[in-house]
């Protein structure tokens, strides 16, 4: 919806008044000064959606399901996509989209100052809409919530690995995957799609675009792609191969991050960033806060904060990053119906010996352990606070090993969000006495 179309609406209701809702409210105050603005938020009570009938248009926040909106609506993402200037690089996937988005942003910043980062990370994109010009590059991290009802796709769309997630919001895995594929669905022939070849749901997304397709892979040499071969990362473009960097020189921890690095390298090369500038970023970028973040050493134990890992696959990759040194895992949290069967099997075969669990999903993780007879190998500790969790970890973890917070579950309930969970973990670790 264009700004002119918004101005024609006399009464606009903002549904959901979190970070994005507040941003769109300020935007509308500036651009639609003659429109009456209303707010409907969960904290207003059970009947907060009942006021919709009194408004011409709703602007729905990402966490509000579309079926709850009973009047014509749009979203901040759609408003941005209808009014921006410049070129957008959109990044989506079940895991890795934050890391990949920031990597791309940092690489572009080496080449130009006219680059912006927003969407599902950092500030809402609507905040910098008025600052854009035709030469601007915009990197947007896009969730399935934001993509489900978009009507335009980015010039460059990056599709990372896709696996089951957010099934408490989407009615099934098909709806979730289709929402992700909207990032490609409205592309034109001169647009570009960058697709992860190593995961079926991602690889098969090429059917959703008419744009030019490039690939990333850590498993095979691929044409028009960034791929891993031997101990190095390479670009193949139009049949020509170029070595970018040796893996040992990449500062980011974890084999799984090579998928994210591949996507960032390829995007930056397509945009025209020089290889030496890409390498500069990869040699210095330590990763995101709350993603395999080193917190410190206490009693000879290394503590790592991976609060961003909210699904089992992400927690498994985090454990794998430490090559058998994770003795204690802090996990569990909000229960959104995730299947923990494979996670339980993995943990029993892993280096983990102490499992410190938050309710309510901690109970389901432990049931998955019991189902494969893992109680003889892994000690379980139930906790209801981060203070308890970190204290137990300091008591039970051997010197020289790792305690990892990688919950494999969302944070809601006990914590406001993954950031608060990670901050509490860091605070509790730092309060332990140095040895």
> What's the mean pLDDT in 278-288?
92
Q: What are phi and psi of 296, to 5 degrees?
A: 155, 175
Tens of pLDDT along 98-149? Answer: 899 999 999 999 999 999 999 888 789 999 999 999 999 999 999 988 999 9
Helix boundaries (H) for 110-239 = 144-147, 173-185, 200-203
Q: What local confidence, expressed as pLDDT, does residue 45 receive?
A: 85
Confidence bin at 435 (pLDDT 50/70/90): low
**Token digits of residue 93:** 């996937």
**Token digits of residue 347:** 């943990």
Confidence bin at 164 (pLDDT 50/70/90): low
Q: Which of 136-140, 171-175, 233-237 has the lowest mean pLDDT?
A: 171-175
Distance CA 91, CA 99 (A): 10
**Tokens 């071969």 belong to which residue?**
229
* C-alpha separations of 36 from 56, 213, 310, 372, 399 in Å: 10, 45, 39, 59, 62
pLDDT at 339 over 70: yes
With a pLDDT cut of 90, the percent of the chain lying above it is: 78
Q: What angle do CA 224, 230, 231 make, to 5 degrees?
A: 105
Asked whether the beta carbons of 173 and 197 are under 8 A apart, the reply is no
Q: What local confidence, expressed as pLDDT, does residue 171 receive?
A: 63
Asked whether the beta carbons of 11 and 54 are under 8 A apart, the reply is yes
Distance CA 300, CA 220 (A): 39
Q: Which SS3 state, helix, strand or coil, does residue 83 take?
A: helix
pLDDT at 69 over 90: yes
- Which residues are 380's β-sheet partners? 355
Distance CA 30, CA 424 (A): 37
**DSSP one-letter code for 221:** -
Q: What local confidence, expressed as pLDDT, does residue 18 receive?
A: 87
Q: What local confidence, expressed as pLDDT, does residue 32 receive?
A: 95
Neighbours of 15 (CB within 10 A): 26
Domain 84-284 has CATH 3.30.230.70: no
Q: Which residue did the predictor score with more confidence, 47 or 131? A: 131
Q: Which SS3 state, helix, strand or coil, does residue 404 take?
A: strand
Confidence bin at 287 (pLDDT 50/70/90): confident
Domain ranges for the chain = 3-77, 84-284, 293-431
CATH topology agreement for domains 84-284 and 293-431: no
Q: Could you tell me whether strands 225-229 and 232-237 are parallel, antiparallel, or unpaired per DSSP bridges?
A: antiparallel
Q: Which residue did the predictor score with more confidence, 42 or 266? A: 266
* C-alpha separations of 311 from 90, 187, 306, 405, 411 in Å: 22, 30, 11, 13, 11
> What's the mean pLDDT in 260-280?
97
Distance CA 66, CA 252 (A): 37
Q: What local confidence, expressed as pLDDT, does residue 331 receive?
A: 97
pLDDT at 266 over 60: yes
pLDDT at 336 over 70: yes
Q: What local confidence, expressed as pLDDT, does residue 350 receive?
A: 96
Which CATH architecture is the domain 3-77 placed in?
A: 3-Layer(aba) Sandwich (3.40)
Asked whether the beta carbons of 184 and 199 are under 8 A apart, the reply is no
- Which residues are 141's β-sheet partners? 91, 119
Q: Which helix (H) or strand (E) holds 427?
A: helix 418-431
Q: What local confidence, expressed as pLDDT, does residue 42 receive?
A: 87
> What's the mean pLDDT in 256-273?
95
| Total residue length of the chain | 435
pLDDT at 362 over 60: yes
Distance CA 195, CA 180 (A): 12
> What's the mean pLDDT in 84-88?
98
Q: What local confidence, expressed as pLDDT, does residue 368 receive?
A: 96
Superfamily of domain 293-431: Mur ligase, C-terminal domain (3.90.190.20)
Q: What local confidence, expressed as pLDDT, does residue 176 receive?
A: 87
> What's the mean pLDDT in 183-198?
96
> What's the mean pLDDT in 392-419?
94
Whole-prediction pTM value?
0.79
Distance CA 67, CA 44 (A): 19
Q: What local confidence, expressed as pLDDT, does residue 256 receive?
A: 78
389 Rama class: left (phi>0) / alpha (psi -120 to 50) / beta: alpha
């Amino acid at each position: 919806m264009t700004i002119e179309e918004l101005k024609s609406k006399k009464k606009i209701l903002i549904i959901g008044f979190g970070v994005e809702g507040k941003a769109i409210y300020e935007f509308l105050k500036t651009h639609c000064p003659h429109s009456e603005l209303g707010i409907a938020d969960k904290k207003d009570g059970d009947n907060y959606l009942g006021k919709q009938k009194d408004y011409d248009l709703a602007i729905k926040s990402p966490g509000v399901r579309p079926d709850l909106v009973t009047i014509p609506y749009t979203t901040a993402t759609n408003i941005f996509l209808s009014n921006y200037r410049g070129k957008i690089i959109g990044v989506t996937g079940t895991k890795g989209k934050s890391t990949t988005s920031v990597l791309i942003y940092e690489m572009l910043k080496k080449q130009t100052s006219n680059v912006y980062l927003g969407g599902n990370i950092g500030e809402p994109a609507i905040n910098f809409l008025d600052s854009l010009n035709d030469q601007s590059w915009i990197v947007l991290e896009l969730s399935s919530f934001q993509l489900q009802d978009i009507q335009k796709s980015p010039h460059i769309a990056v599709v990372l690995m896709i696996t089951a997630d957010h099934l408490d919001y989407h009615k099934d895995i098909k709806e979730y995957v289709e929402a992700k594929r909207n990032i490609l669905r409205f592309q034109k022939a001169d647009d570009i799609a960058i697709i992860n070849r190593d995961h079926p749901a991602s690889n098969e997304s090429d059917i959703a675009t008419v744009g030019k397709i490039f690939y990333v892979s850590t498993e095979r040499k691929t044409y028009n792609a960034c791929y891993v071969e031997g101990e190095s990362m390479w670009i193949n473009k139009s049949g020509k191969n170029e070595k970018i960097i040796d893996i040992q020189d990449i500062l980011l921890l974890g084999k799984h991050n090579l998928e994210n690095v591949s996507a960032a390298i390829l995007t930056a090369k397509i945009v025209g960033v020089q290889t030496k500038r890409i390498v500069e970023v990869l040699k210095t970028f330590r990763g995101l806060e709350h993603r395999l973040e080193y917190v410190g050493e206490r009693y000879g134990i290394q503590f790592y904060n991976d609060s961003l890992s909210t699904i089992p696959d992400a927690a498994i990759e985090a454990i794998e990053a430490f090559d058998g040194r994770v003795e204690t895992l802090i996990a569990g949290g909000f229960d959104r119906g995730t299947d923990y069967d494979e996670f339980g099997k993995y943990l029993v075969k892993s280096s983990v010996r102490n499992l410190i669990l938050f309710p309510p999903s901690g109970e389901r993780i432990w049931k998955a352990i019991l189902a494969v007879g893992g109680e003889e190998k892994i000690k379980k500790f139930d906790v209801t606070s981060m203070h308890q969790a970190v204290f137990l970890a300091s008591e039970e973890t051997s010197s020289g090993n790792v305690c990892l917070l990688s919950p494999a579950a969302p944070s809601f309930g006990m914590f406001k969000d993954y950031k608060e969970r990670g901050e509490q973990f860091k605070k509790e670790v730092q309060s332990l006495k140095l040895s």
